[in-house]
Amino acid sequence: MDKKILIVDDEAHIRMLIEQTLEELEDEGVEFLTADNGASALEIIQEEKPSLVFLDVMMPKMNGMDVCQKVKKELSMQEVFIILLTAKGQELDRQRGQEVGADVYMTKPFDPEVLLQKARQVLGIA
């Protein structure tokens, strides 16, 4: 199975930061895809079927919650592991994240080590 990670954030420096955090996974054959809004993220998820998606919540065109809900509930793509990234750590957001089917909910600023560990775990890379 192709190991693909989709990084979705409307801020280029955050996409780059996440990619740099995970770049050692490239040696394990992981391919990185990126999107800067929810609408294109949804297209990429349907076409490329990434194993893991780091999904920002606050984005133009379609927010992360809506993307997550579409992927998990409407398209029933349970095999796509979605980590919602948000600057908001409010309990309400966390609950909403669970409702739309997010697998994990992480608050920015995130710990690069935790991000990398999670990615390894999801992709089954020891």
Write the DSSP string, 104-119: EEEESSPPHHHHHHHH
pLDDT score recorded for residue 88: 72
User: Cis omega before residue 60 (within 30°)?
Assistant: no
Domain interval for residue 81: 3-123
pLDDT score recorded for residue 92: 84
pLDDT score recorded for residue 1: 53
pLDDT score recorded for residue 60: 86
Q: What is the count of structural domains for the chain?
A: 1
**φ and ψ of 71, to 5 deg:** -65, -50
Specify the pTM. 0.95
Q: What is the block-wise mean pLDDT of the chain (126 residues), using blocks of 10 residues?
A: 90 96 96 97 98 95 96 96 87 89 91 95 92
**How far apart are alpha carbons 49 and 109 in whole angstroms?**
27
Q: Which helix (H) or strand (E) holds 35?
A: strand 30-35
Residue whose entry in the numeric block shows the structure tokens 């979605």: 82
Specify the length of the chain in residues: 126
pLDDT score recorded for residue 91: 80
CATH of the domain at 62: 3.40.50.2300
